[in-house]
Amino acid sequence: MTTMPASQAQGQAGTASGDILLEVNNLKMYFPVTSGLIFQRATGYVKAVDGISFFVRRGETLGLVGESGCGKTTTGRCILQLYKPTSGSIKFEGTELTSLNTNQMRTMRRKMQVIFQDPYSSLNPRMTTGNIIGEPLIVHNMVSNKEEYKERVGELLRHVGLNPYMADRFPHEFSGGQRQRIGVARALSVNPEFIVADEPVSALDVSIQAQIINLMEELQEKFSLTYLFIAHDLAVVRHISDRVGVMYLGRLMEVSDRNEIYINPIHPYTKALLSAVPIPDPIADAQRERILMTGEVPSPLNPPSGCVFHPRCPLATEKCSQVVPQLREVENNHWAACINVPGYGET
């Protein structure tokens, strides 16, 4: 693999307007595949995330889309330092997270929270709602006495559209949507600046999805939150995001403003992905041009050389299997990693 200098994200950061809250640079997360019973040795690596760079501005929502197994969730977990990245840098408000020790990280965690996909697995069935929401408050010594604690928990419940008296109930007494609200309340408890929303609505009914999305937008406004919104549902991402990044097999393929990427996709993978979205109008659906990809997503254990998308790409040339394309600004505020798109320039 050609090692490239820290990619164009530096350039991005330079030209980007606004305050950068989170900056990820050339992040790699390889999971070793071990074999052997006693003396385990790595026989290969799953390249879940393979050199991605992006930034998130304060107050915006960056949507991260891609099919299953493309490394969206791993990226989110690396940012939260649940995984120790193989290499790369993650800067949050200018602080390098990868070099923090446990105590320093605990302080940082007040500023970054997460909402998980499965509202059934993310709430401890043995704890009351109040204790679930209040746990981070106690860990970070954010309340001084019981009344203040109760007050704060009640306030959080109201913020997410639940009633303060529900604090004494157990998770099994709530529906999926309500449970996800509890998850949101917990994430809010420490007044974070940044929330990683890891497929927060994928497990919910469509009508409930809308409620949660609206709630998240409302809360973003109220508490000036920044979201990294990970999802595979393109419509949901379009609705909530300010900018969207498209991932494929551990790489970022394209990053741009949400309307730009949906109306004017540049990267051939994005085009193919968008053309797979059904249009709720049979005539329009039949008339549009669809780009069908052939074959399967290659294994991240042994990704293709050069551009990981080249075996399935309609634009692929011989060069694509040799050169790893970097994310470059091919149009104003529009980054793509494809050597065959106009504006990419010299490889």
Partner 1 sequence: MATATGVAGSALGRVSRLWRRPGRIRRIPVVPLSIVALLLVCAIFANIISPHDPRGADETQRERVLKTLVPPFQNWDNPLGTDRRGLDVLTRLIYGARTSAVISMIALGFGVVAGTVLGLVAGFRGGWADAIIMRLVDAALAFPLILVAMLIVVVLGPGIQNIILAIAATVWARFARQVRGEVLSIKERDFVTLARIAGVPDQTIIARHILPNVVNTLLIVVSLQIGNVILTEASLSFLGLGLPPGDPAWGIMVAEGRNFVIDAWWLSLFPGIAITLVVLAFNFFGDWLRDTLDPKLRRL
Count of CB atoms situated within 10 Å of the CB of 124: 12
Going by C-alpha positions, the residue among 53, 57, 52, 44 that lies closest to residue 17 is: 57
Nearer to partner 1, 159 or 312 (CB): 159
Smallest gap from residue 179 Cβ to partner 1 (A): 11
User: What's the closest the beta carbon of residue 308 comes to partner 1, in angstroms?
Assistant: 28
131-134, Cβ contacts within 8 angstroms, sequence gap of 24 or more: 132/171, 132/182, 132/186, 133/157, 133/167, 133/182, 133/185, 133/186, 133/189, 134/189
Instruction: Give Cβ neighbours of residue 98 (< 8 Å, ≥ 6 apart).
Output: 81, 84, 85, 88, 89, 90
Beta carbon of residue 190, minimum distance to partner 1 (angstroms, whole number): 8
* CB of residue 126 to partner 1, shortest distance in Å: 4
Least separation in angstroms between residue 142's CB and partner 1 is 11
Closer of 7 and 117 to partner 1 (Cβ)? 117
The SS3 call for residue 23 is strand
- Contacts (Cβ under 8 Å, ≥6 apart) of 103: none
Q: Tokens for 250?
A: 């551990």
- Name the minimum Å distance from CB 54 to partner 1: 21
- Six-digit token pair at 211? 């409620």
- Which CB, 77 or 243, lies closer to partner 1? 77
Q: Could you tell me if 152 and 134 are in contact, meaning their C-beta atoms sit under 8 angstroms apart?
A: yes
3-state secondary structure of 231: coil
Q: Report yes or no: 116 and 195 within 8 Å, Cβ to Cβ.
A: no
What CA–CA distance (Å, rounded) separates 141 from 258? 39
Residue ranges binding partner 1 (CB under 8 A):
80, 82, 105-106, 109-110, 113-114, 116, 118, 121-128, 131-132, 135-136, 139-140, 170, 186, 190
- Of 182 and 297, nearer to partner 1 (C-beta) is 182
Least distance from partner 1 to the Cβ atom of residue 104, Å: 11
Query: Could you say which DSSP state residue 86 is in?
Result: S
Question: Between residues 166 and 246, which has the closer beta carbon with respect to partner 1?
Answer: 166
Whether the Cβ atoms of residue 168 and residue 221 lie closer than 8 Å to each other: no
The least CB distance from residue 76 to partner 1, in Å, is: 11
| Residue 184: CB minimum distance to partner 1, A | 12
Q: For partner 1, which is the closer residue by CB, 109 or 238?
A: 109
d(CA 318, CA 328) in angstroms, rounded, equals 20
The answer to whether 338 touches 324, Cβ cutoff 8 Å, is: no
Residue nearer to partner 1 on the CB measure, 121 or 317: 121
CA 79 to chain centroid, in Å, comes to 9
Considering beta carbons, is residue 63 or 171 the nearer one to partner 1? 171
Closer residue to partner 1 in complex, CB, 186/243: 186
